[in-house]
Amino acid sequence: MKSASSETPANVQFLPSINGPADIKKLREQDLPQLAQEVRTELIRVLSETGGHLGPNLGVVELTIALHRVFSTPKDKFVFDVSHQGYVHKMFTGRRDRIATMRQYEGLNGFLLRTESEHDCYGAGHAGTALSAALGMAVGRDLRGTNEHIIAVAGDAAFTCGISYEALNNAKSQTKRFIVVLNDNEWSIAKNVGAIASYLNNIVANPTYAGLHDKARRFVEAIAGKSAVNFAHKVEEGVKGLLVPSVIFEELGMRYYGPIDGHDIPLLTRTFEFLKTQDEPVLLHILTKKGKGYEPAIAKPDKFHGLGKFAADTGETAPAGSPTYSEYLGKTLAKFAESNKNIVAITAAMPSGTGLGFFQAAHPDRYFDVGIAEEHAALFACGMATQGLKPFLTIYSTFMQRAYDMIIHDIALQNLNVALCMDRAGLSGDDGPTHHGLFDIGYLRHVPNIVHMQPKDEDEFVDMLWTMANHTGPIAIRYPRGAGTGAVPKGSPKILEIGKAEVVQHGRDVAIFGLGNMFEVAVEAGRKLEEHGYSVALINPRWIKPLDTGTLEFFARGSEVICTLEDHVLHNGFGAAVMEHLHTQMIHTPVVRIGWPDQFIEHGTIPILRKKHGITADALVEKVLALRPKKSQQVQPSAA
């Protein structure tokens, strides 16, 4: 029977006392499971009101407790891959009282940020970053002659990234003290795919390994001295020799330990105490459950990876509104593929986010999820194109950046018939700067052979997809997160004339070119300018490359001001292309540009951020009025 002093009173809560990592070290070991439960309860409560990455954070509660119990940040460095699973770390490092501001404007960011806390040693929102960055930190530590610990925490999905293996290939030769935690929950956003996922599963399921691992576990629980360390190495070497195939991490120079239960705090703590004594690069393989402690998140890990507000008691979200661009893409491509057997669809671990889940259900043999491997995805598409297929490579704009070399060197240079579908182009709201798709016009418009476009609404989006399906050569489309205007496609799709804009309204004084989802803002700005007495032309450009130079020159020669609106940075964007062309033609009509400034845009709701940075109809009107003073609006006096 436990003594009275070892019992935890029923009304005691530990989370309110955690104001920094040192407070976790003060708790008794038997109190830590309750702390873990309190953290989960708080995460569910807060994220039900704000949205966020619930599932990943529920899965790393015990891991984060153990890390902070054994190591000491900010001296020791935790490098989280992607870092969307860093909410618990934020709660433990002085930000618990602000956790309710997560992903809100001027609140905590949904990823780690170096500017947010000294405990965030590295910020990242893309997968595969942790191992290389952490290895660089370890080498930097070695060169400085200091003794801090560097711990990289990467999910199993990060090991579908080639970058992770590039780091592993160098670890043994470049440092002696380096800890990698492989957090294996079998999920990235969707279920992990490919040989690596199968390989890790084989390690976990191998009965020979499991028996030997029990011995290793008992050893770790009773660590004592140099002889014990030597015994541990012998056990692990024996395990390695008996496994078929052998442990790939050991072949790459990382001493492999595991797999162990990633929700067993005492075991995690003792294992980390052991690993911090090792004078060689080590990899600890832990098994966790994404969404642990919350049944709705366990049942639907992909849905609860990252979501908006939900009912905490049931996990239910608000009814879906208008179909999103992503949904239209998946359903439309699936329909096109019924008659065109050459259409295939490729994604990089994002079947639900990109809408390709609909295509997968309809055409499973022509759907390919390559894991978090955008470079491979692009080259894979190139190979398919050489065989007469029509690959639609569907990746978020921010992640397509990772395949930039392939876009130039392989797709464009060889003029291959690959369609680039860039989801989340423009501002991505509460996801913040790592996920805003604000650079793709700039990184594509100067590349030869590429056609690039953006639709003003869903109806035009379907027409553009049909145009892509019937085009030969590299072609790209950018479209925003979520739903558009609600313009339901009607009738059969039509092929659009490449490089031909749509003139929606003629006018003499001001010509507004509103690209894509900014056309709505152009319409609003046009109405406000008309109230000031201006005659306004409204143009839906459609084409970023090639520009409709004929329409542009026509309005530039006949108007007092040209205006451009784009959901993209101004530098090297659509408006810059307009200015460049007018300059080459010696047309000196002034150009007013509305777009995002030359800085990384913070997280927050789209209306708040647009207002703050002047991406509004009022901002455009103000600039036009400054260039061309308000038209005379003489009011005739009424008869006496």
Catalogue the active-site residues: 290, 374, 402
Sheet holding 255-261, edge to edge: 77-80, 150-155, 178-184, 281-287, 255-261
For 389, the token pair is 């297929």
For the chain, the straight-line distance linking the first and the last C-alpha, in angstroms and rounded, comes to 103
Which tokens belong to 181? 């935690």
**Spatial distance between the Cα atoms of 630 and 627, rounded to a whole number of angstroms:** 9
288/173 Cα distance (integer angstroms): 30
Of 260, 257, 256, 276, nearest in space to 268 by CA: 260
Do residues 182 and 258 touch, judged by C-beta distance below 8 A? Answer: yes
Helix (H), strand (E) counts: the chain? 25, 17
| Torsion from C-alpha of 474, 478, 482, 484, nearest 10 degrees | -110
Q: Supply 295's token pair.
A: 């049944």
Q: By three-state DSSP, how is residue 417 classified?
A: coil
Phi-psi sector, 414: left (phi>0), alpha (psi -120 to 50), beta: alpha
CA distance 212 to 408: 50
Residues 6+ apart with CB under 8 A from 175: 135, 138, 139, 142, 281
Cβ 303 vs Cβ 72: under 8 Å: no
Sign of the CA dihedral running 368, 373, 377, 383:
negative
Burial state string for 620-639 with b = 16 or more CB within 10 A and e = fewer than 16: bbebbeeebeeeeeeeeeee
CA distance 448 to 608: 37
Token readout for 577 is 């292309």
Nearby residues of 473 by Cβ (< 8 Å), 6 or more positions away: 415, 416, 417, 449, 451
